[in-house]
Amino acid sequence: MNFDAVIIGAGVIGAALALELSKAGFKTLNVDKNHDAGMGSTSGSCAIIRVHYSTLDGSALAYEGYFDWKNWSDYLGVEDALGNAKFLECGCLVMKTEQNGFMKKHKSICDELRIPYEEWDSKLIKEKLPIYSQDSYSPTKRIDDEDFGKSNGSLVNSGIFFPTAGYVTDPQLSAHNLKVAAEKLGARFKFDTEVTNINKKNDRVIGITCSNGDVVNAPIVINVAGPASFKINKMAGVENEMNIKTRPLRQEVVHVPQPKGFDFENNGFVVSDSDISCYVRPEHGGNILIGSEDPECDIREFVDDDDFNREFTEQWDNQVLRYAQRVPSLGIPSRKRGVVELYDASDDWIPIYDKSSLNGFYMACGTSGNQYKNATVAARMMVGLIQYCESGNDHDEKPFKYHLTKLDRELNVGFFSRLRKINPESSNSVLG
């Protein structure tokens, strides 16, 4: 089998890359060990669409991607037989805390990029979220700490609201939509298949070998394997020269019923609260989804992506009870519900969109947890990077610059380099 490019992975970014490469005239094949697009870590994504990041480049990429989600069916150009995913633009409130510098830097970034935001004071927060207590509980603690649940005497009583934020109701469906759109342009997908070897010749990738013995020939291979990306990089022999690496990080996301007396599903929105190290969003069926913002007191559990505990642990309890500090009327169900999945986390939580030391081998890694929203624009950027490098340019010496069309702004893709130093501006968390 001969293709112009093989894409390892068919999550939301892998499927978007198939679509964008196909638009650019490439004959592509996605290979994925799951049985359909988006069935890996994408299916467990909270699918939050937000435009605020702790870095200027991160925010620019996110705001550019927002316009694709805003006009999803137009972007796809097809109607999936399963339906097209829906982006609910409910907005996102970020509580001003000492941990996020009271959002001073984020506001400055948004002013530069013309990202709309609103200042919310204590009165407006209480009006919009009457269930919320504004007591401060930082620093974040675990529930076995004797001071857990005790206010520190101050208040978290203001925030920044981003109206151009929200969430996609079905992340797996969004990846399937991208697959259908790509297939319409000739892209092919091979599921239930693992990659067992990255084939090379004369310091250049020449294709892959699959678990069923098939050999696929291609001068370009792109690693978009999510939590398995580190294994693929090792297989390609490119990991040793990478300054920034990725590892699979186990995460638990909680689903709990909304408290009585407030319709969070229809009147709520995404909230990021670093005072209690939780983020939340509405979930269908009158539920609230609670994720962790990875406080220092929690152990980061790096695991084998093929062998990890899929049962809930005491981390579930910690996340629920932390949020209950903010919402005292929250009911705690006896049965634990939610999602246990993996993030493909980089050393500084900023993704790697880059070439490698092996000619023709590219990577879009370290994306889980905070890059779902950037899938479409990251895919276009990767197409530009591939074309730039395959034309003989040295991206390491003279980084490719990608033009963000909606923002009319140049983005230095070297920001996402595998060779960068750990970025001190990163929030080092999932919702920075």
The pLDDT assigned to 142 comes to 98
- The reported pLDDT for the residue numbered 426 is 56
CATH fold for the domain made of 5-84+170-245+348-416: FAD/NAD(P)-binding domain (3.50.50)
CA distance 432 to 430: 6
Residue 361 has pLDDT above 80, yes or no: yes
- Same topology between domain 5-84+170-245+348-416 and domain 88-164+249-343: no
| Distance (Å) of CA 37 to CA 8, 13, 60, 76, 183 | 12, 10, 27, 15, 12
3-state SS, residue 31: strand
For the cut 50, the answer to whether the pLDDT of residue 197 exceeds it is yes
What contacts 388, CB < 8 A, 6 or more positions away? Answer: 395, 400
Bridge-based pairing state of the strands 166-168 and 401-404: unpaired
Tell whether the model's pLDDT for residue 428 goes beyond 60.
Answer: no
Give the residue ranges of DSSP H helices in 164-282: 171-184, 229-236, 264-267
pLDDT exceeds 80 at position 432: no
Q: What is the pLDDT of residue 368?
A: 72
pLDDT at 422: 85
Look at the domain 88-164+249-343 and name its fold.
D-Amino Acid Oxidase; Chain A, domain 2 (3.30.9)
Q: Provide mean pLDDT across the span 10-32.
A: 98
Q: pLDDT of 100-122, one tens digit each?
A: 999 999 999 999 999 999 999 99
Q: How far apart are the first and last CA of the chain?
A: 42
Nearest to 180 by CA among 80, 38, 266: 80
**Gap between the Cα atoms of 314 and 275, Å rounded:** 20
pLDDT digits (tens, 9 = 90+) for 268-308: 999 999 999 999 999 999 999 999 999 999 999 999 999 99
pLDDT tier at 146, thresholds 50, 70, 90: very high
Stated pTM of the model: 0.96
**Residue 240 confidence (pLDDT):** 94
Q: Which tens digit of pLDDT belongs to each residue from 301-335?
A: 999 999 999 999 999 999 999 999 999 999 999 89
- Are 431 and 371 a contacting pair, CB within 8 Å? no
Helices (H), 256-354: 264-267, 314-326
Average pLDDT over residues 353-382: 95
Asked if residue 7 has pLDDT above 80, the reply is yes
What does the pLDDT look like over 393-420, one tens digit per residue?
Answer: 999 999 999 999 999 999 999 999 999 9
Domain boundaries, the chain: 5-84+170-245+348-416, 88-164+249-343
pLDDT at 180 over 50: yes
Does residue 69 have a pLDDT over 60?
yes
Mean pLDDT of 42-51: 94
Residue 59 is predicted with a pLDDT of 95
pLDDT in tens, 150-169: 999 999 999 999 999 999 99
pLDDT exceeds 60 at position 427: no
Q: How many residues does the chain have?
A: 432
Give me the torsion for CA of 51, 54, 59, 65, rounded to 10°. -60
User: Smallest Cα–Cα separation from 344: which of 430, 277, 419, 240?
Assistant: 430
pLDDT for the residue numbered 51: 94
Sheet holding 352-354, edge to edge: 188-190, 28-31, 5-8, 221-223, 361-365, 352-354
Query: What is the mean pLDDT of the segment spanning 52-80?
Result: 96
Region 7-35 average pLDDT: 98
C-alpha neighbours within 13 Å on the C-beta side of residue 380: 15
Q: Which pLDDT score is estimated for 370? A: 81
Q: Is the peptide bond before 139 cis (omega within 30 degrees of 0)?
A: yes
Mean pLDDT of the chain: 95
Higher confidence at residue 426 or residue 86?
86
pLDDT at 175 over 90: yes
The pLDDT-based confidence of 238 (bands split at 50, 70, 90) is: very high
For residue 369, what pLDDT band results from cuts at 50, 70 and 90? confident
Tokens of 19: 């679509």
Q: Quick one: three-class SS letters along 35-95?
A: CCCCCCHHHHCCCEECCCCCCHHHHHHHHHHHHHHHCHHHHHCCCCCCCCCCEECCCEEEE
